[in-house]
Structure 1
Amino acid sequence: MSNSTSSPVNQNNNSSLSHEQIRNFVAADNCLAGKVILVTGAGAGIGRVAALTYARFGATVLLLGRTLSKLEAVYDEIETMGAQQPAILPMDLEKASYDEMQKLERLIDSEFGQLDGILNNAAILGNLTPLEMYDVDTFAKVMHINCTATFMLTQALLPLLKDAKNGSIVFTSSSVGTHPRAFWGAYALSKQAIEGMSDIFTQETKNTTNLRFNCINPGGTRTNMRAHAFPGESPMSLKTPEDIMGGYIALMSDESIGVRGQVVALQPKD
């Protein structure tokens, strides 16, 4: 792959934002006003905070996840802040069919008339064990949720995104996706595939001026997934999801229109 996690974005993309500027992005009030953004895994962790952040900066946020009670809690938080009314879209990516995802596309079109961005955030960790010993059913589950279902949903929603003035698709990668690491198994492989998916979509849409694909590598962040992966680590040594939201806003805002096919590491030393 030609992506870099630390170098400035290719100037051939006519981008005004380097990776450093994306990491340190300071958002203007209402910079996402008028946008409809779907967030997967919106009930907890980075997805929850991203959904709240997008709403705070003016977007109408579509909350997709498998646990209704968690989505309802995020919905209530957005309502309390007086932001644009969000919508709850319950969906279990492990079980959802492509037909259900296409129906979701039609629902969004009929209810909102547009879709300007997707943050593909939902993922599971799986096992941290040698590939030689990796449970094959768990492997298949991780690859499906983290990669295949992400592809299915993105493809199903592309017709709406292609109609957007400036459509942005953001995938979530990981340091172990950019540089696969022993014992990270299916999680690392799924994230490596996500980076490849973003790269291929970028190449295939190079003449589609209003559509862009990028990856975010959030780095070590204070989430439940991180705690499961590193049980001996002090969570207080990590940044919170709120600390890294500048990059998430940047890639959804029109300031990043020229940023394409990038893997942006929000904590490049992680």
Structure 2
Amino acid sequence: MSDIASYVPPADLLTDRVILVTGVADTIGRAVALAAAAHGATVVLSDRDLSALEPVYDRIEAAGHPQPAILPLDLAEASEAEFFGIADTLGQEFGRLDGLVHCAAYAPYLSRIDDYGAEDWAIVLRVNLTAPFLLTRACLPLLREAVDPAVVFTADRVGRRARAYWGAYAAAKFGIEGLMQALAEETSEGGQMRVNSLDPGVVRSGLRLHLYPGEDPHQLPEAEGIANRYLYLLGPGSRGVTGQAF
């Protein structure tokens, strides 16, 4: 695929596939979940609060797409055992997992390293790096049961070239790139699993609004405009593409 930004997915791209998406409460995760469902996937909707997941569930059902599932999960608090329990539940319900998309993100503020609180640093790394590792590791046996599995980590430009005041979030996103590359290398021999990262760019999101409260969000592009890029990495058109930072 030479230009992922212009990819147009066929209507049945993800038919009969089970896709887990984290961070569905915010705009990027929600856009990915809705787009995956619209293209035939059974989507497992995950975020911290059940109340944030129910409207997305209702939208998918109302549109007549495959019935989704809801998975409340607090990435900051979940134990290692809970992640394995989630994988067990997915295995019992679906027997496999065809795609895992990490869209959850957290940053409490922008700050100099001098002033960054140690507890806040630990939580940011936990949500943005450690939890994606734990969830991916727990789900690997299920992913290996799928014919054409894919893992997509949401990246960020500050995780490829750091900028002042992004502190722990930048460090975590640099770590995500390393995690992606290591897992891609480790799973490359079979030729089935694809592991990539995608920087969606600056879009309208709750995280962006929180960090830039003086910015007019209506001047930013909608997250729906980048959903097809995730679909490309989840669908069969990207077979053989792994270890890439898009």
TM-score, normalising length from structure 1? 0.89
TM-align CA RMSD: 1.0
Q: Does 1:90 align with 2:72?
A: yes
Match 2:119 to one of 133, 137, 140: 137
Q: Which one-letter code corresponds to 2:129 in the other structure?
A: C
Aligned 8 A contact 2:194 2:241 in 1: yes
3-state SS, counterpart of residue 227 of structure 2: helix
Deviation at 1:236, TM superposition (A): 2.5
Q: Does 1:217 align with 2:194?
A: no
Give the match for residue 56 of structure 2: 74
Give the match for residue 11 of structure 1: none
Give the match for residue 100 of structure 1: 82
Mapped to 1, the partners of 2:109 and 2:190 lie a distance apart of 39
Aligned 8 A contact 1:126 1:186 in 2: no
Q: Does 1:173 align with 2:155?
A: yes
Mapped to 2, the partners of 1:213 and 1:32 lie a distance apart of 17
Deviation at 1:30, TM superposition (A): 1.3
Give the match for residue 150 of structure 1: 132
Deviation at 1:127, TM superposition (A): 2.3
Aligned 8 A contact 2:35 2:228 in 1: no
Mapped to 2, the partners of 1:153 and 1:62 lie a distance apart of 13
Match 1:250 to one of 229, 232, 236: 232
Mapped to 1, the partners of 2:24 and 2:162 lie a distance apart of 26
Q: Which one-letter code corresponds to 1:259 in the other structure?
A: V
Match 1:207 to one of 183, 189, 205: 189
Give the match for residue 55 of structure 1: 37
Q: Does 1:263 align with 2:245?
A: yes
Q: Does 1:236 align with 2:246?
A: no
Mapped to 2, the partners of 1:223 and 1:206 lie a distance apart of 33
Identity of aligned residues (%): 43
Give the match for residue 38 of structure 1: 20
Give the match for residue 25 of structure 1: 7
Give the total of aligned pairs.
Answer: 246
Mapped to 2, the partners of 1:215 and 1:126 lie a distance apart of 23
Give the match for residue 4 of structure 1: none
Please list the CA deviations of residues 217-255 of structure 1 after superposition, one character each: whole Å capped at 9, or x if unmatched.
Answer: 011001111112222322222210111111011011100
Structure 1, 168-177 or 233-242: larger mean CA deviation? 233-242
Aligned 8 A contact 2:99 2:234 in 1: yes
Aligned 8 A contact 2:44 2:71 in 1: yes
Mapped to 1, the partners of 2:73 and 2:214 lie a distance apart of 33
TM-score, normalising length from structure 2? 0.97
Mapped to 2, the partners of 1:237 and 1:262 lie a distance apart of 30
3-state SS, counterpart of residue 263 of structure 1: coil
Aligned 8 A contact 2:83 2:138 in 1: yes
Aligned 8 A contact 2:37 2:66 in 1: yes
Please list the CA deviations of residues 97-123 of structure 1 after superposition, one character each: whole Å capped at 9, or x if unmatched.
Answer: 111111111111111111000001111
Aligned 8 A contact 1:216 1:263 in 2: yes
Structure 1, 59-68 or 224-233: larger mean CA deviation? 224-233
Q: Does 1:110 align with 2:92?
A: yes
Mapped to 1, the partners of 2:221 and 2:87 lie a distance apart of 34
Please list the CA deviations of residues 143-179 of structure 1 after superposition, one character each: whole Å capped at 9, or x if unmatched.
Answer: 0010001100000000000111011000011010011
Q: Which runs of 5+ in 1 are unaligned?
A: 1-16, 265-270
